[in-house]
Amino acid sequence: MSWLTKIGTIDRRIIYGLVLLAVAIPLLFKMILPIRVSEPVMMCFNAIDRLPQNSVVMISIDYDAASEPELQPMLVAVLRHCFAKDLKVILLGHWALGLPLGEIALNQVAREYKKVYGEDYVNLGYRPGYVAQMVGLGREIRDFFAVDYKGIPIDSFPFMRSVHNYNDIDILFGLEAGATGDAWVQYAGARFNQKMFFGATGVVAPDYFPYLQAKQIEGIIAGLQGAAEYETLVKQAGSAILGMPAQSVVHGLILLFIIIGNIGYLLTRKKK
Amino acid sequence: MIGNIIGTWIAATLTIAILSFLYRDNPLYKLAEHLYVGVSAGFWVIYTWSFDVKPMLIDRFIQATGVEKWVLVIPAILGIIMLSRWIPKYGWISRIPISFTVGIGAGLGITASIQGFILPQIQATLLPLTTINNIIIVIGFITTIFYFYFSREHKGFLKVGSRVGIIFIMVAFGASFGYTVMARISLLIGRVYFLLHDWLHILR
């Protein structure tokens, strides 16, 4: 059996092992690669950066633990940007399992910036029926979120008293792992002209780029690379910047496998 | 604190159990898989009760007065009728609430799609052919439509157009697949990071 034939029959567990090593080694050695900020991420950064103090940012947690590695670093980076700019943050979510992740990030970053719950940020939690909610938020937020996630009336929070509908929300940031972002664009964006930008997993990001091209969203942070770019912009390295070298090494490895596999396939086919 | 440690150990054990399937199917993987299915089912039962049935039906029925109170009987009946699917003889009754749901979904979806997707996307495609990007977008748009035009046989001009269209479609699939690969590797990075950072404390 020639080495070319052997390549074609290589045990896939060896490939899994190599991929695991390609991920673990760059993490262990804390490799850092330069991050070039792309235009869609820069547009998101600028959308937040040009907001005046005390503007209201609504963050929608539309993901769960399965997308945490990609979307959680984005959430943390955007929250850092918001709190550094003294913006007010309203967190809510349409994926019930993702809300605890939102709460973890919100509390962590709020502590870093010494922000006070109810004065600088609130967590409205989860309510079912996202389409009805998105349409209803155009009228009155209290129809769906009269109380926060702990059951405290939102009118007891000073900055929430002046928030009633999309007119009072300066920008919406949706963290998307599915199709909830489509609904944000089609209901909040198209009907109420709500400005928004998305952080999306790599799987769904290609579905959201047409919205960016059509100027229906302000920007898009796509995948772990996008998260690393935003971390670069807020000048605080997190798990995305640390993860990107591993990502690059694995991509190189996959390309190598594809090339070797194809050479092996072409040569063995020639022999036949 | 002790809760965090126990949680981390459980999460790490389950991560390793699930990843062990990559070597071969084994009892540890099966245990984690069944645990996941059981916990998910339990969660959704609690979720449906806590977020839907109790606050939106029972609590509101208790608090509301007059017509508002009795209007809630309609969705309650529709919900109960939905369960008739379990009894084959009366399963057809469930079509009533299903048609109600489909009707609302279609009504909301059609207007939203036209207003929020189709029109803005077509508008964004009507571009002046002054830049390379615009030319690519317009050609890609037209030729992709050619590819999906099945009312006439793809011959002559239509054949050329659809062939060009399929190139654009393949490029889109490739970009989408590339992003998917990146996303899946990101998940592996996330798990390895968790094991090294949160569980083993090797990464600081």
Burial of A255 (0-12, 13-18, 19+ CB in 10 A): exposed
Q: Nearest C-alpha of chain A: how many angstroms from B67?
A: 18
**What tokens were used for A196?**
């928004």
Residues on chain B touching A210 (C-beta within 8 angstroms) = 121, 124
Task: Give A66's contacts in chain B (Cβ within 8 Å).
Answer: 187
What is the tens place of the pLDDT at every residue in B140-175? 999 999 999 989 898 999 999 999 999 999 999 999
**Three-state secondary structure call for residue A148:** coil
Distance CA A95, CA A97 (A): 6
CA distances (Å), origin A164, targets A25, A126, A152: 50, 18, 17
Q: Which of A92, A180, A186, A212 to mutate to test the interface with B (most CBs of B within 10 A)?
A: A186
CB A113 within 8 A of CB A123: no
Distance separating alpha carbons of residues A55 and A32, to the nearest angstrom:
34
pLDDT in tens, A203-252: 999 999 999 999 999 999 999 999 999 999 999 999 999 999 999 999 99
pLDDT digits (tens, 9 = 90+) for A177-202: 999 999 999 999 999 999 999 999 99
pTM over 0.95: no
Number of other residues whose CB lies within 10 A of the CB of residue A224: 28
- Per-residue confidence at A1, pLDDT binned at 50, 70, 90? low
Q: In this predicted complex, what is the ipTM?
A: 0.92
Q: Measured between alpha carbons, how far is B169 from B7 in angstroms, rounded to an integer? A: 45
Q: What long-range pairs does B110-115 form, CB within 8 A, spacing at least 24?
A: B112/A183, B112/A186, B112/A187, B112/A190, B112/A191, B113/A186, B115/A186, B115/A190, B115/A191
Do the chains contact at B203 and A189, CB–CB below 8 Å? no
Whether A203 and chain B come into contact, CB under 8 Å, resolves to yes
Give how far A179 is from chain B: nearest CA, Å.
13
Query: Left, alpha or beta for A86 (phi > 0: left; psi -120 to 50: alpha)?
Result: left
